[in-house]
Every structure is written in structure tokens, then in C-alpha cells.
Amino acid sequence: MAKFCSNCGAKLDVGAGFCTQCGTKVINLEGNQATNQQTNQQPNQVVYQPPNPIDESKEGHIEIRNFVGENDNIIELDEKGPFKVIQYEKDLSVTPNEAEEKYFSTKMNVRPRQLIADLSKTSGIYLQARAMQWMSGANKLSTGVNGIGDFGKKFLKAAATRESVAKPEYSGDGFVVTEQTYKHLLLLDLNEWDNSITIDDGLFLAAEKSVGLSVQRMSDISSTFAATNLYYTTLNGDGYVCLESNFPMEELIVIEITNDTVTIDGPLAIAWTSSLQFTGERSGKTIVDSILTEGLVNVFRGTGKILMAPLSFKPHAANLETMDKKIKF
């Protein structure tokens, strides 16, 4: 005679001690009758219970598909600390009108790139305003502005360096992904820059919260006639930063100075160790000599490093910001 589970009604195997469907223990009463272990149920009563009830106490999780590691069109260019730079090899969703432009852009290494920040690897990061595209997890977001007085200070810094007034701060255990850009994303370890680096305006994209941001004034007021700016952004501390540059790292020249002097004609230096003395000076001993030679030049003295662009102007680099606004992915 066939036996059935008194809990879910499933057919029981001969000699079974438990129901294979719901796990209820089988107890033999009066020879062949199977009943539930619970004493308050009738022998032939069928009570339905889900075989896998939902555990409401279980923490949530997120699975991201067809992204880094699963998409052959996305490659990892660099990774330092909590930051990872990715690049899209091709635009796979172009219109016929865009196909020619996108094809030759890819051939010339004009590709969209993004920065990914893993917040579980750091106490937090801050980004340039409106740089975030999406994020995962229950991350915390703040403006980094503490009152009206702090806003005023940040406003003056922003006016001097052309950076955003408020730089959103993110913390948590999820991911933050920035907007796509055609510029090149450079990851730097401040430990390799004597824990302080001065950068050209508009280069800052992201940094760990352990890195402080301030404004540095050039050593000499006459420097403003040689350089493009009188004030520059300085990043201090122990951590990693990301710069958004018109030039790739493979094209930039690294100059290391030890108690010496480097003279550069034009605004080719995009970043340098903050301890270097940076001034603008005449290239000759007299005004006439300067006029007949290089005019005013940028001079770096001391010990440190300089990150220098090999070219002062590139048509495609000058148009990258315009392309970011024109071409939407």
C-alpha cells in the first residue's frame, strides 16, 4: 500500500524516514500508516508549506552582468588602490551617420573611458561634481560642504582653479562608476610624489578621502605672465588620485630633479611635486635678451618630479570636451 506524507501529500518511498519534498519526519503508526511528527495534526491531514521559505533576515546582494570581466568590449587599463580605469574598445551602438566618425576615432585611440571606485577598499572617495554616472549598494553621499563659511572658502578656491565648488563624497561598500569621457584617466599614488602633488586646473577627477585638497599660489607674482594660471590645485596626503588628462600616460614625459633646475617654455607641465619652487622668469638676463629668445618661461627648482606633456596643443585633445557633450552613448 502506497504511503503519502501527511504534511505535503507527496508520495513516500518505501522505508523512507523523511519526506523528500518537505523534509517532514515519517513515523509509522499501526504498521503501515504514515503520519506527521507533530502531535496536533490528524494522520490524513495535508498542510502545505513552501519547500524553500524566504529568509527575511538574509542580507541583500547585487549581481552585475555583462560588465567588467564578462564583456569582451570592455578592457581594464589600470588599477591602483580602490580605483580601476576601463575602456570601451568599440562603440557597438552607432547610427549610420556616426559610423565613419566613430570608426576613425577608434583607430586613433579616441575611445570612451570610465573610472570605477570600489568603496569597500577605502574609507571613502570624493569626485568632481556631476562626475558620477551610477553606483551600487547602500552607499552614503555627502556634499563635503560644512556650513556657509566653508562654502565661501570652497567657492574662492573653485574660482581660482576652475574646479567645482562642492566635490561629492562617497562611502560604503559598493561601487561608484563615473560618466564616460574621451580623455585619458591617470591613476597616481601620492607616495610616489612625496605625498603632495600640484596639478594644472581642470585635471582633478577623483581622490580618496585620506587625500586633502588645497590651492597653491605661484612663488612669484610675475609668474602669471609666464604660466596660464596664478593658482593651482594641490593634493596632499597618503592615497590614490585620478586625473583627467588630454594626454595618455604613455605620451607624458616624467622628469626627476635632484637639487637642480628645469626650464619649460609654455604650459607643458601638467603636474609636479609640490615641494618644487615654481616661478615664471625671463629667459634672458635682460628684457631685450628675453624678447629675442624665449620670452618668459616656467622654472622649477629643487628636488621632485614633473609630469610634462610633449605637445602644447593637439586638435583632437582640444576638442575632447566638445566631443563628450556632442556624442552620447
As averages over each run of 10 residues, the pLDDT of the chain (329 residues) reads 72 74 65 44 47 54 90 96 96 90 90 96 93 91 58 48 67 94 97 95 93 75 52 92 95 96 89 91 56 69 94 53 47
DSSP lists the bridge partners of residue 184 as 245
Same domain? 308 vs 160: yes
pLDDT given at position 20: 74
Identify whether 8 is part of a domain.
yes
Instruction: Read off the CATH number of the domain in which 129 is found.
Output: 3.60.160.10
Same domain? 28 vs 165: no
Non-local CB neighbours of 58 within 8 Å, separated by 6+ positions? none
Same domain? 15 vs 132: no
Same domain? 81 vs 179: yes
pLDDT given at position 261: 95
Identify whether 37 is part of a domain.
yes
Region of 185 (left: φ > 0; alpha: ψ -120 to 50; beta: rest) is beta
Same domain? 99 vs 48: no
Same domain? 121 vs 245: yes
Identify whether 68 is part of a domain.
no
As a whole number of angstroms, the distance between CA 125 and CA 253 comes to 28
Burial class (CB in 10 A: 0-12, 13-18, 19+), 266: middle
pLDDT given at position 120: 93
As a whole number of angstroms, the distance between CA 127 and CA 314 comes to 27
Count structural domains, the chain: 2
Domain containing 34 equals 1-55
Same domain? 15 vs 120: no
Write the DSSP assignment of 188-228 as a string of letters. Answer: EEGGGGTTEEEE-TT-EEEEETTEEEEEEE-S-GGGGGTSS
